[in-house]
Amino acid sequence: MKCACPSFRIVFLTLSILLGLSLVLLTLHQIVLPIVGWLIPSLVPSLYDLAVYGPYPTNEYVTFDLEAPSPSIVKWDDACDNGYVLVSPFGSSVPHAGPMILDNKGNLVWMTTGLGTVMNLKVQNYLNEPHLTFWSGKKVGGIGEGHYLILNSSYDTVKTISAISPPAHPDDPRVGDLHDFVLTDSGTALMTVYNTTTYDMSAMNRPTKGWIVDSLFQEIDIATNELLFEWRASDHFDPATSSKYLNPFGGYSESNPYDFFHINSVQKDRNGNYLISSRHLQGVMTVSGKTGEVLWVLGGAFNVFDDLTDGKATSFKWQHDARWIDEEEGILTLFDNGSAGPIMSDAHESKALLIQIDLEKKTAKLLQSYKSKAAVLSASQGSVQVLDHVDTFEQEKHVFVGWGSSAAFSEFSMAGELLCETHIAASSTYWWERVKSYRAIKTFEWVGRPEQPPVALISNDRIYVSWNGATEVAAWQLEGRKDGATGDKWQTIDIKEKEGFEDAFILPDESFATYRVAALDDNGKFLRHSDIARYAESRTSRTLLWMIGVAAGIGAVVGVAIFMSRVPRGQRIARSWAVWDRHRYRKVPGIEMS
């Protein structure tokens, strides 16, 4: 029988060479390039987007158990230097998903976990006070099953709101969806809802008793929990003939229904009607608040507007987040994804649009578009926000864009100039959607006053301090008390400006028995003390684990190199294999070969 050993040897050598090359590239990517970035800081944003620091670089803290993103600011203008950014990162590369507040430089302000999947963190007025609101629940495909939380300035949940099943159909449950949750000035809440039900899909050559996931929205009275209005897409559009969404397997079973409409935003206008967005009809429309009748549609197959800008105002595809900005002037915004995935992509990049419509003349025109510096194409999610905060020095409103499944946000002038852009994940990984944030919202009115005190811990001759959620801290004051001192005999040791989420003091040479840290506001007014600082528990750093992994990789590369150097010529390799073969197939005493 002929031995196949030569083929095996070739495969082995090929795999060894490929392994060696892979380890060399890994070493270059994980060691050499970071050193280059350290030597040439101007290259760091580019290296960040190449995932040299990982797909989702994070910051670790001594005083806080969770990891927060370490963003890359790829463009900056001082005109962006105010407010807080609200995001809810999730995805396979996010170790701690949840609602999160960042400052204008990307530093963590507040985050929490343990709430399941979280979407749509916003600041909205509830009982005439700013509150945080978001959806929390289980994400099922492209929709959600959960409820909505309202948190006060201390980050306590003061209200939980759920969708309501109609009294006439108590056996047909409604579940709150992740796409939108809006509080109105009249004490009501708007929410998107998805409902799986049967439908005749024979027009699509699918079962007569097929399955659709229907798009609904509800308006409820928050105080009484009364359902005031409900609208259902299938009452006005035929699921079998209306949709642009390609899903050849959808509709055959309850577990895989056909999502023909896909509602993703709702807003009530001054006339009591509702502006909604349908991603899969590729249209934005207004629904009568009295009859539920569709009054008009912008974009898609049902468009009723004459586009005065050569189709630029009506040719958006797979859009999100339609909002009135100025109803009197007919101005609205939306996020034009331009893509719903690899086989449903109609554009090279996503953009935010500012559109003006004339309801009497039925005309539409594009006023402005806004594009990312990274030219991202987001196949899902996204948000647009016109910032109404105007200070003494900046008289022009800005446009703030969250890029959805591409984990980034940008700020523009109304005229379309890109002012600032921040990436919270490497842009080279956006296509895989390893890190996403359904919306990114900027707020100027949030003031966080957590009930828990600041946390101060001692580690490696330093005292670290942070206060999760506190927005009024401008400086920290380190205080010490000597052995034997009692009561309030604390001495001020040092004062330093707050620079990030966590700051540190070097332990003084003078001996103190105990330490604590006081939080001060921008007027130097005392806010709160930490508890007495204790020693931090030892934790294995992710950076250390990464270094161990890289060291192991280098060891493997060196090992392969040594092996190759010891068998430099083919003859030696052949002799080595021959010796190995003789040992492998040597005759065993007492056994005759037949």
pLDDT tens profile 137-154: 999 989 999 999 999 999
In this prediction, residues 328-356 reach a mean pLDDT of 97
- Residue 585 belongs to a domain: no
CATH number, domain containing residue 502: 2.60.40.10
Cβ atoms of 422 and 107 closer than 8 Å: no
Q: What is the pLDDT of residue 393?
A: 45
Looking at residue 5, its pLDDT comes to: 62
* φ, ψ for residue 203, nearest 5 deg: -65, -20
Query: Contact, 425 vs 56, CB < 8 A?
Result: yes
Same domain, 344 and 421: yes
Residues 327-355 have a mean pLDDT of 97
Q: 562: buried, middle or exposed (CB in 10 Å: 19+, 13-18, 0-12)?
A: exposed
404 with 486, same domain: the answer is: no
Q: 140 is written with which tokens?
A: 């099922």
- Structural tokens at position 491: 């001495």
53 falls within a domain: no
The span from the CA of 110 to the CA of 88, in Å, is: 11
Q: Which helix (H) or strand (E) holds 518?
A: strand 514-520
- Asked if residue 311 and residue 263 are part of one domain, the reply reads yes
Q: What is the DSSP letter of 31?
A: I
When pLDDT is cut at 50, 70 and 90, the band that residue 173 belongs to is: confident
pLDDT band at 388 (very low <50, low <70, confident <90, very high): confident
Is there a single domain that holds both residue 422 and residue 273? yes
* Torsion, CA 19, CA 22, CA 26, CA 29, rounded to 10: 170
Query: 22 lies in a domain?
Result: yes
- What is the pLDDT, as a whole number, of residue 593? 45
Q: Give the per-residue pLDDT at 281.
A: 98
* CATH number for the domain harbouring residue 156: 2.120.10.30
Q: Is residue 320 assigned to a domain?
A: yes
State the pLDDT at residue 486.
73
The total number of structural domains in the chain stands at 3
Percentage of the chain exceeding pLDDT 70: 88
Tell the burial category of 236 from Cβ atoms under 10 Å away from its Cβ (0-12, 13-18, 19+).
Answer: middle
Shared domain check, 126 and 13: no
Whole-angstrom Cα Rg for the chain = 30
Sign of CA dihedral 525, 530, 533, 539: negative
Whose CA is closest to 125, among 175, 78, 191, 184? 184
Which comes out higher in pLDDT, residue 17 or 474? 474
Same domain assignment for residues 310 and 392: yes
- pTM, 2 dp: 0.88
Across 414-429, average pLDDT: 98
The per-residue pLDDT for 14 is 81
What gap in Å lies between CA 458 and CA 480, rounded to an integer?
A: 13
- Show which of 443, 473, 489 is a domain's final residue: 443
471 shares its domain with 428? no
Distance, in Å, from the CA atom of 579 to the CA atom of 5, rounded to the nearest integer, reads 13
Q: Are residues 31 and 114 in the same domain?
A: no
Q: How large is the average pLDDT for residues 10-15?
A: 77
Share of the chain above pLDDT 90, in %: 78
The phi-psi region of residue 487 (left if phi > 0; otherwise alpha if psi is between -120 and 50; otherwise beta) is left
Is residue 157 situated within a structural domain? yes
- Residue range(s) defining the domain that contains residue 89: 58-443
Average pLDDT over residues 362-391: 94
CB 282 within 8 A of CB 299: yes
- 394-404 pLDDT, tens digit each: 468 999 999 99
pLDDT tens digits for range 545-594:
556 655 665 565 555 556 555 655 544 444 554 544 555 445 545 545 44
Residues 438-446, mean pLDDT to the nearest whole number: 97
Residue 569 lies in a domain: no
Q: What is the mean pLDDT of the chain?
A: 90
Neighbours of 250 (CB within 10 A): 21
The verdict on residue 62 lying in a domain is yes
What would the pLDDT profile of 61-72 be if each residue is shown by its tens digit? 999 999 999 999
Distance, CA of 180 to CA of 120 (rounded, Å): 7
Tally the C-alpha atoms within 13 A of residue 224's C-alpha that lie toward its C-beta. Answer: 9
Q: Worst-scoring range by mean pLDDT, 308-312, 388-392, 517-521?
A: 388-392
Give me the mean pLDDT over the 175-190 stretch. Answer: 98
DSSP of 465-482: EE-TT-----EEEEEEE-
Query: What token pair was written down for 479?
Result: 């205080």
- For 420, residues 6+ apart whose C-beta sits below 8 A from its C-beta are 73, 75, 76, 77, 79, 80, 410, 411
Domain boundary among 532, 555, 588: 532
CA atoms within 13 A of residue 433's CA, in its CB half-sphere:
15
Question: DSSP class of residue 345?
Answer: B
**Same domain (yes/no): 379, 503:** no
* Same structural domain, 101 and 171: yes
Same domain, 289 and 423: yes
DSSP 29: I
What pLDDT, on the 0 to 100 scale, is given for residue 507? 93
Q: Which of 173-177, 348-352, 501-505 has the lowest mean pLDDT?
A: 173-177
- Torsion sign (Cα): 297, 298, 303, 306: positive
Inform me whether the pLDDT recorded for 11 exceeds 50.
yes
Answer yes or no: is 580 within a domain. no
- 347 with 425, same domain? yes
How far is 406 from 94, CA to CA, in rounded Å? Answer: 14
| Residues 34-68 as b or e (16 or more Cβ within 10 Å = b) | eeebeeeeeebbebbbebbbbbbbbbebbbbebbb
**What are the two backbone dihedrals, phi and then psi, of residue 101, each rounded to the nearest 5 degrees?**
-115, 130
pLDDT above 90 (res 367): yes
Which range, of 227-231, 240-244, 305-309, averages the lowest pLDDT? 240-244
**pLDDT at position 567:** 53
pLDDT of 231 over the 70 cut: yes
pLDDT tier for residue 115 given thresholds of 50, 70 and 90: very high
For residues 593 and 591, what is the distance between their CA atoms, to the nearest angstrom?
A: 7
- pLDDT for residue 572: 47
Q: Which pLDDT belongs to residue 577?
A: 46
